[in-house]
Structures are given as C-alpha cells and as structure tokens.
Amino acid sequence: MTAATLLVTFMPLYYHKVLHFDVFTTGILSTFTTLLHVPIKSISGSFCDSLSWIPLHVKVQACNFIAVGFAGICCLMIGIVKATGDGYFGVTLFGVVYCTIAVNSGHSKTGKMASRQYAHFVSSTIHDIKCAALVAAPASWAMFVQDEPDAAEWSYVFYLNGAMLTAISVLQKYKKG
C-alpha cells in the first residue's frame, strides 16, 4: 500500500525532475501508468474468481506474491537503474510496479470471505493500513530526498520500499497457519 501511494504521489515529480521529461510528457506518462491499474485489477480479479477449483488461501498467496514480491523486485530495480538512457526504462519499471500491485485481486473481498464472522475487523484493519500508507509514503520520501533532481537520493527511497515489499513477500510465504 505504501509503495502504491508513493508511486502515485511522487511519480510525476520523478519523471520531471530525475528523468527530465517535460511537463506535458510527464502528465501523459503519469496518467497512462495510473490508468493501467484499473483494467489490470479488474482482469486479475475476474481471472482469480474464475479459478474456483483453487482454494481461496492459495489464490490469495499467489496473487500477493505477484502484487508484493514482484513489485518489490521491480522497485529495487528502479533504484538500481536510476536515470539511464532516455528514461523510458524507468517509466516502464514504474508501470510494471504499479500494475503488479493491481494483481492483489481484491484482497479486501477475499480477506472478508476468508475471515467470515470477523469481516468487519478485517475491513477496518485494511482501512487502517491505507491510512498508515498515506503517512508512510511521504515520510519515506522526505527521509531520503533533499535534492529532487538527485537520482541517488531517490534510489534510497526505492531500495527501502523494494526491500520492505520483498521481505514481506518472503515472510508471508513462510508464515505458519
């Protein structure tokens, strides 16, 4: 959630200041990347629902691996790649991260279905996490970036978010219960 909030909030700033796109191109690329999230979320959710022969917890784990683990690896790659070439590889990585985050396939719905009588608690916890992400994303940016055009400072933000996403994915895979 924090990575998605970070990407949506600071993507235009990164495109313009670090990748040196003009304002018009920055707007188009940011909008296109953000709009890709909606159809991918719908398609992955419908696809996940159509796999009725797979147990619910397995579907949640598989989708969360893609949405968290793969997004974390790509986030780390954004930090490594920085501002190389014409900048479109960085834009592609941003798009991949944001689109893989969309593959969470309705974690709210599946969480409520899996918890049954505790659905209200699961729903409130998810909303609490969303609220925390609204604070954590700008805080992680402010912690590392003092000079906006400096790609090295931005890379620390992506290292932090990528490492957290990857660690969470690994821990989730090996948790008990």
Q: Is the pLDDT of residue 141 over 60?
A: yes
Q: What is the pLDDT of residues 91-136, one digit of tens each?
A: 899 889 988 888 876 565 666 666 667 777 777 887 888 888 889 8
Place of tokens 């790609």: 151
- What mean pLDDT do residues 60-78 have? 87
Domains defined along the chain, listed by start: 2-173 (1.20.1250.20)
- Give the pLDDT of residue 160: 93
For residue 176, pLDDT beyond 70 = no
* Mean pLDDT value of segment 63-92: 84
- pLDDT tens profile 142-164: 999 999 899 899 999 999 999 99
Instruction: Give the range among 63-67, 83-87, 156-160, 171-175 with minimum mean pLDDT.
Output: 83-87
Query: What is the per-residue pLDDT for 113?
Result: 66
Q: Is the pLDDT score of 7 beyond 60?
A: yes
The proportion of the chain whose per-residue pLDDT surpasses 70, expressed as a percent, equals: 90
Residue 13: per-residue pLDDT? 93
What average pLDDT does the chain have?
Answer: 84
| Span of 13-22, 40-49, 55-64, 115-124 with lowest mean pLDDT | 115-124
